[in-house]
Structure 1
């Protein structure tokens, strides 16, 4: 493929003027068997480029382990993009934000108690160098300079909203160059942060979702020469638990796009196709109050969560056609959908008694954090004996993020970080009763200083003012559920429990799992982690990709943390429910 260059006015590709028409498509938020479909639909909308972040925390889950296969097979994704004739903008971080767990920075770095992320802390920079070497060495053939699809690579991500240490940014850029990145580099920042996050000699781009001409004029005033580009043209938004589903009027967004393209600028939609925060991968925000992001990353994008074109797809395609060739093919039709009216979950297993089969016990004087347990996602079950019987006040210095408290297996209350809760009163039935605290990591903060977000029980745990010592903890990552001792039962278990059922499928297709009457938890289909559900909404269904299903018998497992319906049934429907909307 030709190499991207810049001149005083804009981009050049193979010496000819070139406008980047790109859309965000995160391979790690899409089932790998669906990558080709989503890329084809990007081309059919008129895009010539796709953009993707790279999640460091998934690719390098431990310092000595690097993963680049299956759903993280980035080389395969790049091959598929090239096969569609699409270029790629690569955004490897190390920090990506993306409403992704910890902004993509691996949790094992937080095992260092005083580490400063996104700074020139030598420990952080050494880890970044190692990550880039492991990631970029196999990606060198995919750079445009080597005939591959990657036109340009981003340095860090919206750094101006975090700091102003140009020397740090130079360290990141130098690390990329040492790893063989010889295509253009670029930075991206919101307009007010542009100077703080810019890097001399590197293309600066702006992120915004409205007033396109105004923001691009500001960018031109700060950068009199070179290409104009928005690396994140916000055409939708993400959702958080307890709020409404955010949507944006397609025609209003298309008008903004028209205004942007009329200036001659290049664009990357954020997002073209949002996808899903499968499993435990959603991030959170914390601006004095912790707010976790939902499972769906639909983002009100041109392609919805199931990859079907929306009204925004057609509206954007019509605008793009005014400025660039669009394939003479019809807008793709929605894919087939599957419905199974009721699936009975006839087998159950209580979580607390099952914990010993799921994780090894670790003993310590004080509660250990997830990072100290070398745990990324999931839950920690903390247990300790209580010395005295009678009324008691439990105080926990920091709950990260949601703690369900039990005495001898019976629930006595919940403490939520989101509500700034730290204390709980209950009665201890006898000396030696076991205090169990099930703590859920609801998503590490992905923006601002809050990215230093350690999980579990932090600080002291007091009972009637006296520190509790002598803890057992089990790291419940729930990556494998084979150890769960399911048994048929006609009664609904008390407290957190797994529930399992089966359903038949003749022709696998996309579907949506609805959990009417269930309260909070996680779900898996055939061992694939669909993500979290929560009755507080707005999201009230979970996307099930067609490749997860198989012809014949399929298994569904639900971990309900509180109480499900007496019938213990779920349903698979043809349509999602992302909640009441907010424009």
Structure 2
């Protein structure tokens, strides 16, 4: 029935899925079974959290179903739903009930993968950021972790359970336990508990595991789920040389590990991720292209795999701070069959061809390995499988070495219920091109009276439609094909189109068809229409299964849905160009996208405005010494559950204060002693992150991840009063959980030292607005960090930027100094309706411009990308559907952070990625615009200061003034009461007045306290002053703090370091041991120190990475030691040693190995107050036992 289409789309009304009768999901050694029928799972991985547009979920799910997939695999990202303990959001872009309903509407089974850990190249591997501050090793049965994990599972499991096929209220057929759980952990109690929780929460479908490779983990025993599965990425993830293949593996041996269950690959390679600095997803798409898809998936079928779910089928976008910084940048296109902008690729068509086949040739789900005929060409390999019930045979023909590009030919011998055929094909050969594979079928009943003896063409699909059978076969363009059908008597054959020759063998009852695959040939045989296509032609064919039976459609770019009722076939779909539509269906009338069929229309042109007029504003007022940070969080934690933070006071890591994503600001106040020359800072930003430093408003420089020393320019430091150190740190994201609590690696500023002038810092910290209680719950916690402009709403539509300066981007960068500058523009769009328009934003530098900057890209308040021109490769940023207002005004904002003058974006333009006529209606995602009250910067009506010296003496009284100031312009403060609070064991007294009737604007009141610290040293303490007051008419509280140290008395005589009190003792394994080697994990389990065969009675035994700090007090002149790997680990171990005095490196060794013996250290420490002894590992981990042997100090004038 030839028809034509219009391009207009009418969105069908979507009713909630209706409850059906409960069904069964079981399995045997062959496959998963639904209602007792074997199912070959042809699955597609889709991440809803990478597409922040619930309407667009339907678009992707319909495309997945139309592409031949029968299941969708869904990770559920714990961290995406939980901003803080006990808080879970399942609304808006996190509405997984809607997601599961959409999957059911699309006709897809669901494979549920709720973690708790998912990996997925997302920040923390899906662990919520708040877990980074809690005790208990992740992914173990330790109680603290299990309590948190149960919190998540008790919320997500009931949702999944409600959508199980077995309840008749959903399509969930499988449930995954954990994710690629392997390596050293292997905690069976943990795995078994997850299984038990699932069952307690109502999960009754089969459970399975996805081993991180064919590694035989969780096949049996405690903690083993019902079905063993393994993930397979044989091409790997290095896309830089996409034409280089690996010889793909044969996984048939895995069948032996758990013979009572089917063999499934929950993650079969469907693409590859690309890291920062990679070559781009176009190369990943080529590495895992159509040829790879053919060979890999058919090899898996030959190996007996009865379930493959392809990761990814749609990748999406790492919007916000969603990405794992070690693995991926903003785009998660993955080279997938459906690209980031939701458009179909050539690889999609290959998946469609195979998907249609496994869904229509159902006997493929139940096969045994059988002896295969030898190919006539030794370069080729043939595998054979046989269905034990019907006897249908499946032959996979490929090159023995999958890497070769040669074209070879073969014949094969066939023996079965239809007789023996010593040479197949009887005419010509089977051609196998390089990096190709064919899946051929023999002995198969297309219907009871339509017997396929064999075909050297591949089956795409077949069906009974109305009063005729239809079969669609295909092969490579220009290759010969042969099909043999069996009939009791000579059939009537009519060649409708194409060049097809027929031969009748009366003795066998065989009708042999010979042809060349070219375009489309049509042959009518006894009421069966045989369609013979080349691979390009198959892209135009679509199958839909309706309640009234299957239909085939030829012509459109996509057929989304089909519905038959009262003789009318209602089709919806897309078209990228004008095309006739042919329908094979039992219908008298056809509509396309809700309209009667007329002349096809291609999508209308998309016109996008130029982005030439911008406004800009300098950011980073936080760098100014007078900035009001009184409402910021005080960074004063003295303990942390994270062992990586042990011994570092105060704890500065951003997560400890509820700031988990994006940028965070630190402001540290300090007074100097001595002649300070530099600042030594250490920050952990994660890969691609950076930090920048200002001292008293002067820019000192920037650094990537790690430690860096910043020189202090002359005249920058204040000799009297407070200096203010401002540090902006970018957290690029949290690690995945591959190691032992690897995701808990701290982020943010970790420490700061004044070189040449010891001091104590009082720290304030500010990250994303609201921290774990984000003010923008619609976009959620991943969307914003702590830049001033983010906290002030500069990224949002409706922000009043009338006072900003005008600029073109190129001109605007000419006078830019280091720091953050925001750019805003608006784009009024009126894109054609009734079609799917894909739009991106391209960024580039000005001609000759510097790449020494990075930019966060916001569209209508959504952080859609991070642009790092000096790292790459991404320059084009897809704007997710539903974020862009296609009929209306859009706000585009760039937060450009430059590390050198003149660096910044040179151009930005909207780009049309292509449109399709049709599509589905996608509304704008609901999210708030700017609100002046919500985004008003908090201010304090009064400030409290505590003016203490950085170092106090043990047991000695010191005067500490406490002041309250009311700024000019603020209301008068009344009924003021000042109070100073000190740590336990301290005393604070005052004879001054602490109550004040009123303090007028511009005035300051002060009370001097006498503070006495205890007799023991205190490495870090916080004095906190509080003022209660009324202002204006309402009671309130204002607080100020000051950090101090109480060091031990300075050394006045020679001393061994092991005899001193250690101000800091951080160790990589177990405690720092005094006068003994590191030994094992317990205190006192070390042995006599021994380096290079020499034993030592005195010294420190540590394990990399380690830091030991002692207080000298300025009275020492010399430090000596022998440093080396302890002999208890033999020739193993590899470490480096560093000696630092007041932040200045005095000794830094090369990497020393166990076989190297010791390195002599003799350094001048004259005048130094603090001495740090550092040991870093070089990768040996468990054997990095290091000794500071005979470590001693010469002090007090001694020799």
Alignment of structure 1 residues 49-128 onto 2, 5 Å:
49-112=71-134, 114-128=135-149
Higher deviation after alignment, 223-232 or 366-375:
366-375
Contact 1:381-1:476 at 8 Å conserved across structures: no
Offset at residue 442 of structure 1 (A): 0.4
Q: Is 1:424 paired with 2:710?
A: yes
Question: Counterparts of 1:539 and 1:570 in 2: how far apart (Å)?
Answer: 14
Q: Is 1:514 paired with 2:810?
A: no
Offset at residue 468 of structure 1 (A): 4.3
For 1:378, the equivalent position in structure 2 comes to 662
For 1:476, the equivalent position in structure 2 comes to 768
For 1:179, the equivalent position in structure 2 comes to 201
For 2:151, the equivalent position in structure 1 comes to 130
Question: Counterparts of 1:441 and 1:265 in 2: how far apart (Å)?
Answer: 43
Tell me, what secondary structure is at the counterpart of 1:265?
strand
Question: Counterparts of 2:145 and 2:120 in 1: how far apart (Å)?
Answer: 20
Question: Counterparts of 1:206 and 1:567 in 2: how far apart (Å)?
Answer: 45
Q: Is 1:399 paired with 2:684?
A: yes
Alignment of structure 1 residues 219-238 onto 2, 5 Å:
219-238=254-273
Offset at residue 390 of structure 1 (A): 7.4
Distance 1:457 1:218, change over 3 A: farther
**Paired residue for 1:347, among 616, 621, 625?**
616
Q: Greater Rg, structure 1 or structure 2?
A: 2
Offset at residue 192 of structure 1 (A): 4.7
For 1:288, the equivalent position in structure 2 comes to none
Residues 131-175 of structure 1, C-alpha deviations (whole Å, 9 max, x = no match): 111222244321122111111111100001462111111112112
Residues 295-326 of structure 1, C-alpha deviations (whole Å, 9 max, x = no match): 11100000000110111111222233343346
For 1:439, the equivalent position in structure 2 comes to 729
Question: Counterparts of 2:279 and 2:258 in 1: how far apart (Å)?
Answer: 38
Tell me, what secondary structure is at the counterpart of 1:555?
strand
Residues 254-296 of structure 1, C-alpha deviations (whole Å, 9 max, x = no match): 2211222343521000000000111111013xxxxxx352011
For 1:571, the equivalent position in structure 2 comes to 909
Distance 1:531 1:421, change over 3 A: same
Distance 1:301 1:483, change over 3 A: closer
For 1:206, the equivalent position in structure 2 comes to 230
Offset at residue 367 of structure 1 (A): 5.4
Which runs of 5 or more structure 2 residues have no equivalent in the other structure? Answer: 1-21, 235-245, 361-460, 462-542, 544-551, 559-574, 577-602, 637-649, 770-783, 795-799, 807-811, 846-850, 915-1199
Distance 1:278 1:12, change over 3 A: same
Distance 1:368 1:566, change over 3 A: closer
Higher deviation after alignment, 482-491 or 313-322:
482-491
Offset at residue 362 of structure 1 (A): 1.2
Alignment of structure 1 residues 138-537 onto 2, 5 Å:
138-147=159-168, 148-161=170-183, 163-195=185-217, 199-210=223-234, 214=249, 216-245=251-280, 246-247=283-284, 248=287, 249-262=289-302, 263-284=304-325, 291=326, 293-325=328-360, 327=543, 328-329=552-553, 330-332=556-558, 333=575, 339-353=608-622, 360-365=631-636, 366=650, 368-388=652-672, 392-401=677-686, 402-417=690-705, 420-427=706-713, 429-431=716-718, 432-449=722-739, 450-458=742-750, 460-464=751-755, 466=758, 468-476=760-768, 478=784, 482-484=792-794, 486=801, 487-490=803-806, 492=813, 493-494=816-817, 495-507=819-831, 509-517=837-845, 519-535=853-869, 536-537=871-872
Tell me, what secondary structure is at the counterpart of 2:655?
coil
Offset at residue 369 of structure 1 (A): 1.9
Contact 2:191-2:224 at 8 Å conserved across structures: no
Residues 377-424 of structure 1, C-alpha deviations (whole Å, 9 max, x = no match): 11110112353597733223442333222234443222222xx54433
Offset at residue 78 of structure 1 (A): 0.7
Q: Is 1:560 paired with 2:893?
A: no
Residues 200-243 of structure 1, C-alpha deviations (whole Å, 9 max, x = no match): 35211011133898453232121122111100011211121122
Question: Counterparts of 1:438 and 1:232 in 2: how far apart (Å)?
Answer: 39
Higher deviation after alignment, 119-128 or 470-479:
470-479
Offset at residue 531 of structure 1 (A): 2.4
Question: Counterparts of 2:219 and 2:118 in 1: how far apart (Å)?
Answer: 14
Distance 1:367 1:74, change over 3 A: same
Question: Counterparts of 1:552 and 1:169 in 2: how far apart (Å)?
Answer: 51
Question: Counterparts of 1:52 and 1:568 in 2: how far apart (Å)?
Answer: 40
Question: Counterparts of 1:357 and 1:6 in 2: how far apart (Å)?
Answer: 65
Higher deviation after alignment, 403-412 or 233-242:
403-412
Tell me, what secondary structure is at the counterpart of 1:561?
strand
Tell me, what secondary structure is at the counterpart of 2:217?
helix
Question: Counterparts of 2:125 and 2:293 in 1: how far apart (Å)?
Answer: 27
Q: Is 1:544 paired with 2:565?
A: no
Question: Counterparts of 1:9 and 1:351 in 2: how far apart (Å)?
Answer: 63
**Paired residue for 2:46, among 8, 11, 25?**
25
Distance 1:178 1:349, change over 3 A: farther
Distance 1:74 1:338, change over 3 A: farther
Question: With structure 2 as the length reference, what TM-score do the two structures score?
Answer: 0.45
More strand by share: 2
Aligned-residue CA RMSD (Å): 2.8
Offset at residue 374 of structure 1 (A): 1.1
Distance 1:190 1:439, change over 3 A: same
Contact 1:163-1:196 at 8 Å conserved across structures: no
Question: Counterparts of 2:175 and 2:119 in 1: how far apart (Å)?
Answer: 16
Offset at residue 564 of structure 1 (A): 7.4
For 2:34, the equivalent position in structure 1 comes to 13
Offset at residue 448 of structure 1 (A): 0.9
Distance 1:360 1:186, change over 3 A: farther
Tell me, what secondary structure is at the counterpart of 2:656?
coil
Higher deviation after alignment, 15-24 or 137-146:
137-146
More helix by share: 1
Contact 2:821-2:895 at 8 Å conserved across structures: yes
For 2:388, the equivalent position in structure 1 comes to none
Question: With structure 1 as the length reference, what TM-score do the two structures score?
Answer: 0.90
Contact 1:415-1:423 at 8 Å conserved across structures: no
Q: Aligned residue pairs: how many?
A: 566
Question: Counterparts of 1:410 and 1:223 in 2: how far apart (Å)?
Answer: 66
Question: Counterparts of 2:115 and 2:660 in 1: how far apart (Å)?
Answer: 19
Contact 1:344-1:568 at 8 Å conserved across structures: no
Tell me, what secondary structure is at the counterpart of 1:137?
helix
Distance 1:165 1:504, change over 3 A: same
Higher deviation after alignment, 497-506 or 379-388:
379-388
Contact 1:164-1:197 at 8 Å conserved across structures: no
Question: Counterparts of 1:344 and 1:162 in 2: how far apart (Å)?
Answer: 56
Question: Counterparts of 2:344 and 2:752 in 1: how far apart (Å)?
Answer: 51
Which runs of 5 or more structure 1 residues have no equivalent in the other structure? Answer: 285-290, 577-583
